[in-house]
Amino acid sequence: MTAHTVEYIRYRIPADRSAEFLAAYTRAAVPLAASPHCVDYELTRCEDDFEHYILRITWTSTKDHMEGFRRSDHFKEFFAEIRPYVEHIEEMRHYTPTAVRGTGASTPTLYAWAGGEERLARLTEVFYEKVLADDLLAPLFAGLDPEHAHHVAQWLGEVFGGPAHYSQEHGGHSHMVAKHLGKGITEPQRRRWVNLLQDAADEAALPTDAEFRSAFAAYVEWGTRLAVYFSGPDATRPTDQPVPLWNWGAAPPYQP
Ligand code: HEM
């Protein structure tokens, strides 16, 4: 779990000042968003009592908030806008996220959207038929375990938000990565793997909408480049990590 902290600031703003309050916060949000210590923020208004507002700010840590943001020029700009409302604050405290968190089902997982277990099984079946008939890839997969296609379908299913069968039955991320150690995958082989998987996605009738295919392609690009790295001379078996969970939209940049 991350060390992020969530600050809640509860305001009670007299009804006749709410328009200027919202306008001030719209301006204050600019330096707030510009702070490298701010992860995200949201100001919400109570539906039952319009005078009540809650501002939620996720900080990289309490220390970053108190010693980074509070001493920065961003804070000076921010505070200049919201100073008139400080007297209307009812609570201003930091909260530590607990393990009870998650997302709801309002957006289907990539797994569900793709067509679930059956469609991914079809994908890998078609794909490995192509791989075994391919001049560049067939030598890498000589003597392939007949269960391989099924295992890769389980892996993809878990990555795309489906059941955790791969982790439960095979050992998770480091187990999968270790399967590539020492294979010496070349860039032309990686590119061929990507191309054949995209062809297989068409043949196995995976959804063709732009959103699904861009998320799918992004994962395949990411995963194959990792496979090349871990198959190379400098790689060692990584420590145990959870299976990566891929989602819709852009992935955030990797920041160690
Ligand atoms: C998104 C990219 C990739 C994914 C998700 C993936 C997935 C997997 C998984 C789950 C296994 C282990 C299967 C098992 O547990 O039995 C595996 C093994 C393997 N993968 Fe990949 N892989 C990827 C990229 C690549 C690429 C680019 C190549 C080569 C061009 C490759 C070649 C192999 C080989 C040779 C094995 C070992 C097969 C064996 O057991 O003999 N993989 N891969």
Q: Ligand 1, residues 154, 175, 176: which to mutate, most atoms within 8 A of Cβ? A: 176
pLDDT tens readout for residues 95-122? 998 888 777 877 889 999 999 999 999 9
Q: Which domains occur in the chain, in start order?
A: 5-95 (3.30.70.100), 110-231 (1.10.490.10)
pLDDT at 220 over 90: yes
Q: How many H-runs (helices) and E-runs (strands) does the chain carry?
A: 10, 4
Which ligand 1 atom sits closest to the C-alpha of 148?
Answer: 16
Note the Cα 75 to chain centre separation in Å: 29
- The better pLDDT of the pair 2, 195 is held by 195
Q: What is the mean predicted confidence (pLDDT) over 199-212?
A: 95
CB 25 within 8 A of CB 89: no
User: Cβ(123)–Cβ(213) under 8 Å?
Assistant: no
Q: Which of 148, 186, 194 to mutate to test the pocket of ligand 1 (most atoms within 8 A of CB)?
A: 148
Percent of the chain whose predicted confidence (pLDDT) is above 70? 96
Please determine, for residue 77, whether its predicted confidence score (pLDDT) is greater than 60.
Answer: yes
Nearest alpha carbon to residue 197 among 122, 96, 85: 122
Cα(181) to ligand 1 centroid in Å equals 10
pLDDT of residue 238: 78
pLDDT score, position 101? 79
Rounded to an integer, what distance in angstroms lies between the CA atom of residue 237 and that of residue 231?
Answer: 10
Contacts of 108 (CB under 8 A, 6+ apart): none
pLDDT digits (tens, 9 = 90+) for 135-185: 999 999 998 899 999 999 999 999 999 999 999 998 888 889 999 999 999
Using CB distances shorter than 6 Å, the residues near ligand 1 are 137, 140-141, 144-145, 148, 151-152, 155, 170, 176, 179-180, 183, 185, 189-190, 193, 220, 223-224, 227
Query: What would the pLDDT profile of 14-47 be if each residue is shown by its tens digit?
Result: 999 999 999 999 999 999 999 999 999 999 999 9
What would the pLDDT profile of 46-71 be if each residue is shown by its tens digit?
Answer: 999 999 999 999 999 999 999 999 99
Q: How far is CA 81 from CA 75, 76, 93, 129, 184, in A?
A: 10, 9, 20, 63, 58
Atom of ligand 1 nearest to the CA of 143: 41
Q: Name 53's bridge partners.
A: 11, 45
ipTM (interface pTM): 0.95
Q: Residue written as tokens 């038929």?
A: 129
